Structures are given as structure tokens and as C-alpha cells.
Amino acid sequence: MLLFLDVDGTLVPFGAERPYPRYAPPRTLPEPAAHPLLTRVDPALGTRLQRLTELGVELVWATTWMDDANTTLAPWLGLPPLPVVDWPEEDAQPSLGLRAPHWKTRPLVAWAAGQPFAWVDDEITDVDRAWVAARHPAPALLHRVDHRYGLTDRDFAVLEEWLTAGDGPAAR
């Protein structure tokens, strides 16, 4: 089962009215932290994401960071390099009008190729959920993360519950 991970707003919180905690590099990194917002990412999230892999999840970057997520963020989180969704050119996707799903939705369904998946992102809407439900034959969880906080205990609880419930792969 795939878990598509967005970065901005999901792992890197933004937009809150309060100051963000700043985290020190969790270990000696191969290169200095290059991204100016990297210190907003709690390194403990890496351990939590690794635990999800024990439930049968394959982590996949679903972010505009592309492979920078592997060179910058993965070492910070203590994760190995992950597969990266290669987004199609903007013009390659026909327009679906005003009530169209998020631009990531169709490529993620194509990447999943009929297998169960979860997607965590701060821009998921009910339009995306309806589009996936109508076109994807396997179970899918589209979970919206509050961009002001990024992934929280509550978000991990939702993921773990879905993974171990009747529709998730760990329940099979």
C-alpha cells in the first residue's frame, strides 16, 4: 500500500499566527540543511513515518520538492531515499473545469495503478475524494492535514486506524 506524502503544509507547517518551534539537526547530516524552512520539521516525524512502514506502507514523495525531498528532507527525518512522483507537464492534463480535483489527484491515482493508497496533503478537498471514489477501484484514504501544524498525533491516529481497519492493508 502506498502513502503519498506532501511536504509543504504537511511536514513543513506554515501560516500559523504563532511562532514555529525550531529543531536542530537530529544527526550529522551529509550536507548542511539547505532549505530555510527545514528547521520547522520535527525530526521525530521520521520515526513515526517509519512505524507506518511496519504496517505495510510504502512511503512515496508527492511534492513539488521532487528529488530535493530525498536530498534534503529524507536525511533530516532519518528516512532512506523514497520514490518520487514525477508530475506530468501542466498542459498534459486536460482541464476538468471549475470543480476539478486538485492537480495532484489524477497523477496519484495513475501512480497507484489500482492498489490501495493513502494521501496526506493540506490541499485535499471533497472534490478529490469524490473523484477518487468514482475512479479508483481499491481503498483510498485522502486525509487533509492542517497546514498551520503539519502532521500531528491526530493525523497519525487517523492513518493508523485506517491501515489496521477493514479497508487497510494491515487488516488483510
In tens, the pLDDT along 38-82 reads 888 999 999 999 999 999 999 999 999 999 999 989 999 999 999
Q: What are phi and psi of 117, to 5 degrees?
A: -150, 160
Number of H helices, E strands in the chain: 6, 4
The H or E element containing residue 119 is strand 117-121
Please indicate, yes or no, whether the overall pTM of this predicted structure exceeds 0.85: yes
